[in-house]
Structure 1
Amino acid sequence: MKNELSITLVSAGCTISGDMIVDHGISYFGLLDGGLISTQGLLHVGDGGLIKGNVQGDHVRIDGRVDGNVHARGTLEINGHVSGDIMYCGTIRLGPRAVLNGTLKRVARMLTVEPEASESAKPELAATSTAAATQERTESNVTELSRAKA
């Protein structure tokens, strides 16, 4: 099987309401009113990008702004603005433009990603469905973005 680099690019001027979960890398330059989770690869909030929610990923780079908590399982690079708590387990690099309003804490890898189950779903069902969804998508390099918000 040929390895392909998969990344989703969300350009400036794009506004999304709701949470986004991707199984590969993402570069985000728009406005996201919700959380953003990348299960593998680079999660990049580009210069001018704004996330109003929590951010979770393996390798996280923030050049824009995040108004929420940041959880990085691997490397974390901040050269933008974060208003929220930061948890990381690998390395961290703060650039000359980094602004942090919150706590900074190094934690064990297993503590950095906290899946949020809906109020109606039981935690064990949410974990099972997340694992099944990830397993189903292992062969695809196409990102499916859809969420209806009432």
Structure 2
Amino acid sequence: MQIVDFLLAYGPWAWIIAGLILLALELVIPGGFLLWLGIAGIVTGLAAMIQPLSLPMQWGLFGILSLIAIFAWLRFFRARPQVTDRPYLNRRAERLVGREAVLDDPVAGGYGRLVLEDTVWRVAGPDLPAGTRVKIVGADGTVLLIEAA
């Protein structure tokens, strides 16, 4: 009931204050959604200043604006491809696709080991003896997929 009393006492300014508080909370608790709720609160307050609205209409406008803002953010801004100068950052196995190396251990039963750079990798492919030159053709998680070069 305190929220309703606050909204009735301060009218449209309560929405603007609540929106600013939500924007400030977005700085402390990042996640993206409080930003859009804060903007919806400010727009609701401005709309209530321009055209007097009943309290249920204000809540409805806030809810609709919040949903529209969040769905628009998810649809348009999050769906954009991320442009980066390091496309394989945190994807080390994919970075190695196309490279050639020499097997340290034989591949038996479809699996073996390969030392590449500073890491011992698990490899999957056809059975091959140790010392065979192989080409990395793909990655399945942390397992490199190989074939004879």
Could you say which TM-score interval applies, normalised by the shorter chain?
A: under 0.3
TM-score between both structures, scaled by the size of structure 1: 0.19
Highest CA radius of gyration, 1 or 2?
2
TM-score between both structures, scaled by the size of structure 2: 0.20
Structure in which a larger fraction of residues adopt strand: 1
